[in-house]
Amino acid sequence: MNTNIIERISTPGSPLTVTDMTADEKKRLYTLMEQYGATQGFCWNRFFRDGFAQWELTGIDTVKEKYLKDLPDADTTTNDFWAYLGDLRRRQAFSEYMRDNGMRSAMTVAKRFAADDWKPFERIGILAILQQFIETEQKITVLSS
């Protein structure tokens, strides 16, 4: 996997072609993604058909942290993000923020953030997992040389 491929994956909505990775690389990537709760169908769809939304790339933990950091009166140590947003005006503003980051439905934003039930890959983000994948691939390349 080369950096050009990483750059394409890192651009929201930019999938790879099926020939961009070898079959073995795809298997290793899926094995890693599976450890973070991703299904094979999700991996295929996002990596090779649809690409990722910005929030999927950066991860929900980063989204929350960044959003709270930008609020003038934010408590960045809050444990219940959705409750902290509180009133309808703040929640609507956050829904617009998430729409700009690829979660287009305000209903989905409300439901997902109120439940705060995320898969591990959604929490840490695809870019963090890809970084781990790259490091592993570099080790495999060194060992096979």
Q: Is the domain of 44 the same as that of 80? A: no
Q: Is the domain of 65 the same as that of 37? A: no
Q: Is the domain of 114 the same as that of 91? A: yes
Walking along the chain (145 residues) 10 residues at a time, the average pLDDT comes out as 75 91 92 97 96 97 91 75 90 96 96 96 96 85 70
Q: Tell me what pLDDT residue 99 has.
A: 97
Q: Tell me what pLDDT residue 2 has.
A: 59
Q: Is the domain of 63 the same as that of 95? A: yes
* pTM (2 d.p.): 0.88
Q: Tell me what pLDDT residue 127 has.
A: 93
Q: Tell me what pLDDT residue 71 has.
A: 81
The DSSP result for 50-104, as a single string, is: I---HHHHH-HHHHHHHHHHHSTT--TT-S-HHHHH-SHHHHHHHHHHHHHTT--
The boundaries of the domain holding residue 130 are 3-53+122-144
Q: Tell me what pLDDT residue 5 has.
A: 75
